[in-house]
Amino acid sequence: MRAPAHRQVDSVFGALADPTRRRLVETLARGGTVTASGLAEQLPITRQAVSKHLSALRGADLVTSTRVGRETHYVLRPQPLDEAAQWIQMVGAEWDDRLGALRRSVEGRGTASR
Amino acid sequence: MRAPAHRQVDSVFGALADPTRRRLVETLARGGTVTASGLAEQLPITRQAVSKHLSALRGADLVTSTRVGRETHYVLRPQPLDEAAQWIQMVGAEWDDRLGALRRSVEGRGTASR
DNA sequence: ATAATTCGCAACCCTACGGTTGCACGTACG
DNA sequence: CGTACGTGCAACCGTAGGGTTGCGAATTAT
């Protein structure tokens, strides 16, 4: 359980930075409409924009595209999400360690926010 | 334990999108140099750029600045990180639910990636 | 065969963003 | 004192990124 490959973490956080993209991920997780233009109908933007966002998500391996007839279906791939969660958890753990060391050496200061 | 306020999640993911910013967060979590220019020495960029990044992190409540004499110290505030982690976990849970429902209705298809 | 969908690609705006440089202000030190 | 250090603020530059529009290609329907 070591540090996740920064490469993937990079692309995942980059993909998740955009609110629209996160909304798409949410919808896909909820099992909503899986076609590009279907997703566009639920949003105030063009089908093209959605398509671009889906490309970005696919670039981060967060989504898989599958062509069915003349429409392409998109499926969520949550594994990269775990990667990001691991990064967060790792940072949190290091912080806790450091905080523990501080408390050990100083003792006091009731504000234990986390 | 409901969905985190999208406002905060937005700013957090936005802040975490940049690799340099994540490096700063890592360093702060590790308890490294806490002054702006001290952090800049460990990076191939200007002190100003680091300062800007720290401002961004403070905008996402990921960091707290405290002036000590003529230098300002920066401290990590991991609570927003938990917010982001919760979002990821929520999406993952919904996906698992949806996947479970699928498997319940169809039965088969051995590829249970997650 | 023709018309209607649904998509991908490319070009094009415009804004946001990471980065630098320059300067002015407060603080420490000789 | 004056000088050196550490910040913050503002202006500026270049690129990446979200969004739109306008095609052409493939698939389904009439």
pLDDT tens-digit map of A87-107 = 999 999 999 988 777 677 766
For B97, the closest chain A residue by CA position comes to A30
pLDDT band per the 50, 70, 90 thresholds, residue B110: very low
What pLDDT, on a 0 to 100 scale, did the predictor assign at position A109? 46
For B26, the closest chain A residue by CA position comes to A91
Measure B43 CA to nearest chain A CA, in Å: 17
Quote the mean pLDDT of chain A: 89
Q: What are phi and psi of A44, to 5 degrees?
A: -85, 25
- The whole-angstrom separation of Cα A57 and Cα A76 is 9
- The whole-angstrom separation of Cα B74 and Cα B98 is 42
Average pLDDT of the residues in B79-83: 96
What pLDDT, on a 0 to 100 scale, did the predictor assign at position B52? 98
DSSP H helical ranges for B1-114:
6-16, 19-30, 36-41, 47-59, 79-106
**Hits for CB < 7 Å against strand C across A residues 33-62:** 35-38, 47-48, 51
What pLDDT, on a 0 to 100 scale, did the predictor assign at position A104? 73
Residue A43 token pair: 């949003």
| A63 Cβ contacts chain C strand, under 7 Å | no
- The sign of the torsion formed by the CA atoms of B43, B49, B55, B56 equals negative
| A20 Cβ contacts chain D strand, under 7 Å | yes
- The whole-angstrom separation of Cα B46 and Cα A82 is 33
- The sign of the torsion formed by the CA atoms of B6, B11, B14, B18 equals negative
- Residues from chain B that touch A102, judged by Cβ atoms under 8 A, are 31
Say if residue B68 is exposed, middle or buried (CB neighbours under 10 Å; 0-12, 13-18, 19+): exposed
Say if residue B24 is exposed, middle or buried (CB neighbours under 10 Å; 0-12, 13-18, 19+): buried
Strand partners, B35: B73
What is the CB neighbour count within 10 angstroms for residue B46?
A: 11
Chain-centroid distance of CA B21 in Å reads 9
Average pLDDT of the residues in B23-35: 92
Q: Which residues of chain A have pLDDT under 70?
A: 1-3, 102, 106-114
- Residues from chain A that touch B82, judged by Cβ atoms under 8 A, are 88, 92, 114
Quote the mean pLDDT of chain B: 89
> pLDDT tens across B30-63, in order?
987 799 999 999 999 999 999 999 999 999 999 9
Say if B17 is an interface residue toward chain A (CB within 8 Å).
yes
Residue B9 token pair: 């999640």
Provide the whole-model pTM: 0.88
- B10, A19 Cβ separation under 8 angstroms: yes
Instruction: Look at residue A34 and give its three-state secondary structure.
Output: coil
- The whole-angstrom separation of Cα A28 and Cα A14 is 18
